[in-house]
A and B are shown apart, each in its own frame.
Chain A
């Protein structure tokens, strides 16, 4: 250990006499704490002969104690295995405890498909995001139709929860883009879910958007007619991996084409221009992103827009979309906003 005086000298970069430390003095202070300098110096300035000599010497050293090296290797391997056995047990215990907790909170936090109850849950949340984003996953292990049904169901529930909490913009990221291909069907399915939650006259108006295309709101059929004057419109934006890097590659192509024709000087390309284009074409920055997975892996989520987004996930959570995660995410968002005052 260094003495307090030495530490102070090192931090202030001045010796006891007050003059600035030289490199040599600093090295002498730190010497006891440092490992030996490397034997195989890779600097080009080292003379070739010296290097050959060194290598021969280090080889001799290695040859001298092969048993020790092997033993050390075995020791490390053994430790690695032991540590991982214990760590595996630890993780499994942690996961089961958390799973119980998650179930518990799911039982206590249930919406009963009543917007009034959801509104009550949201009453204490001081700040709501304007734009909420969720990342969902198509369960590839299930049978495809069932997986698709779950996905559509989840989107319907999420839309209803958002509508009940007063969030007017929901973007749904699903990597493969299956949702994008069935917009009319999805519209019908979500509308039905909304009808199940809301009373007929309060059902919010739904509009589904796919990036770079006009919003889809079907020609209103007679049963929907009374909702035209509904006070609330919720927009659902469907995203896929194509809205991430690919959209930026497309933008780069267009810009390069313009520059080749002489319509644009490369110096005019800046973050503001790109931001304006991507906001227009894909979406604005979401304020909150909820991941319904056990870990934070963005899995292709649009990189440009995720810049300042608050990312919520529950560690080790594997139950899929649930109302309790939704409320926890919103609570967490509001308290984070309060803490950092942004």
Chain B
């Protein structure tokens, strides 16, 4: 018994073995990852980092310690991923549903994210070594503002990196992502098309030219051209100014004018400039254009109106203006008006009764397809398709993660260990099997 112990000691302390033990594991890892790099490698891997809490419970630790261990596991896996050449890693850090957890746990998670990302941001160079860029996918506005600030710093610091991407999904659910993608698509298709006024040629003019060419000689026919194009340009430049058409809307319009004037006065106190009537009317018209645009969100409207007034107005003030603007029932959108006026101007129907305003031109909804929606997801259309989705802790469901991205050719792997335990020896077999399958498919394809 004693001799075997001393023998083991002798072996362990012998120079070659000692050297191997000290540097061996790192060397083995390097060779292994270097070898993996030489096969096909998934371009995009997603992880559901599940089991931090159960890991902590099984070790009789605090939940926070479990999350810390999870963060270390993430760092470990990221290094492996980037070393073997994975381009995009997407991790599920925080679900919108997680806000339903205990207040203290949510706060702890936020504190940890802030501290870790703060550290990350302070060591910008360390991230550079893998050339990885951090991106945040999810509902930004739900994150605590102080945490968001550190997150933004981390993203800013790594923005110039192009070799790899780390997508942090927080606070994220896939249904929310898909709903947002549909919403953004709808918004995109509600942007009126620029009416075809930009082209300097007019159809009626061309028709007239042809007619003239038939009847008269060519020299006399070319005389009308410059005049008509000038007319086109002038209508194009003209800004739409709203004029109330009924007494009721006239009163509302006066209210709006007064509201804008008082706002301008407030702004003037700050900027030391006074506004005359013409300026007020002009500002009101341009504010109305934005307030009446249904495709703009409340925030976008706020930004635009602030821009016009050069004044930091509050949400309540915008609400007030909006409610006034909603009462103007005879308002026409800018494009509709400009379209109808230009048609009236350059056509031969100038003397005819005024046409009903044309509805604004919208893009054809039949052009919406899968790619449109994909381009509006958080991952966007630039990210390579998801090759592999790995979920730890033995739960065999997707739990609202990457549904849109993973429901086609992605291989989903459920691993039966807690996330903090997930490491090289769990990960490498998965990659190997993926490579093996990939090799088989390519050789099968070449045989056929």
Chain A residues with CB under 8 Å of chain B are 11, 13, 23, 26-27, 30, 34-35, 37-38, 41-44, 72, 75-77, 79-80, 83-84, 87-88, 91, 244-246, 248-249, 251-253, 255-257, 259-260, 262, 264-267, 269-271, 273-275, 295-304, 306-312, 332, 336, 340
Contacts and interface: CB of A to CB of B under 8 A. Distances in A.
A26 B35 contact: no
Given A307-B399, A308-B397, A256 B408 contact: no
A57 B276 CA distance: 67
Contacts of A304: 175, 178, 403
A95 to B, nearest CB: 11
B382 interface: no
B31 A300 contact: no
Contacts of B372: 249, 252
Contacts of B186: 252, 255-256, 259, 264, 266, 269
B105 interface: no
A76 to B, nearest CB: 4
A259 B122 contact: no
Contacts of B370: 245-246, 249
Given A251-B182, A297-B411, A301-B407, A310 B129 contact: no
Contacts of A332: 396
Contacts of B437: 295
A84 B437 CA distance: 11
Interface stretch (B147-155, B217-225, B302-310, B360-368): B360-368
Given A91-B433, A256-B185, A275-B175, A80 B369 contact: no
8 contacts: A84-B435, A248-B373, A251-B182, A266-B190, A299-B408, A303-B407, A304-B178, A336-B396
A265 B129 contact: no
A251 B183 CA distance: 11
B231 interface: no
Interface stretch (B4-12, B36-44, B240-248): B36-44
Nearest to B22: A1
A269 B183 contact: yes
Given A251-B182, A311-B397, 16 more contacts: A13-B119, A23-B123, A38-B128, A43-B160, A80-B35, A80-B38, A245-B373, A252-B373, A256-B186, A266-B187, A271-B178, A273-B179, A298-B412, A299-B409, A308-B400, A311-B412
Contact of B179 (A83, A245, A257, A269): A269
Contacts of A336: 395-396
Interface string B163-191: 00000000001111011001101110110
A61 to B, nearest CB: 17
B397 A79 contact: no
Given A253-B366, A259-B190, A307 B410 contact: no
B83 to A, nearest CB: 10
B406 interface: yes
B32 interface: yes
Nearest to B121: A23
Nearest to B192: A260
B294 A265 contact: yes
B34 A83 contact: no
B413 interface: yes
A79 B179 contact: no
B99 interface: no
A28 B173 CA distance: 39
Nearest to B115: A13
Interface residue tally of chain B, by bracket?
A: 35 or more
A42 B175 contact: no
A303 B190 contact: no
Chain B contact residues, majority secondary structure? helix
B189 A259 contact: yes
Nearest to B175: A271
B408 A255 contact: no
A298 B407 CA distance: 5
B35 A76 contact: yes
Would you list the 4 A-B pairs with minimal beta carbon distance, nearest first? A79-B35, A23-B122, A296-B412, A303-B403
Contacts of A43: 128, 160
B142 to A, nearest CB: 14
A122 B107 CA distance: 44
Contacts of A249: 368-370, 372-373
A11 B112 CA distance: 11
A163 to B, nearest CB: 25
B160 A274 contact: no
A308 B397 CA distance: 6
Given A256-B190, A297-B409, A83 B433 contact: no
Contacts of B295: 259, 266
B126 to A, nearest CB: 7
B17 interface: no
B129 A35 contact: yes
B31 A76 contact: yes
A26 B123 contact: yes
A175 to B, nearest CB: 10
Contact of A77 (B38, B122, B178, B432): B38
A72 B410 CA distance: 33
Contacts of B129: 34-35, 37-38
A34 B126 contact: yes
A79 B175 CA distance: 43
Contacts of B400: 307-308
Given A84-B439, A262-B294, A303-B404, A27 B68 contact: no
Given A26-B123, A256-B365, A260-B365, A298 B408 contact: yes
A248 B178 contact: yes
Interface in B113-138: 115, 119, 122-123, 125-126, 128-129, 131
A76 B362 contact: no
B436 interface: yes
B96 to A, nearest CB: 10
B407 to A, nearest CB: 4
Interface string B417-447: 0000000000001001101110100000000
Nearest to B163: A42
Contacts of B173: 271
A245 B400 CA distance: 16
Interface in B358-400: 362, 365-366, 368-370, 372-373, 395-400
A88 B436 contact: yes
A108 B404 CA distance: 39
Contacts of A300: 407-408
A191 to B, nearest CB: 32
Contacts of B395: 336, 340
Contacts of A299: 408-409
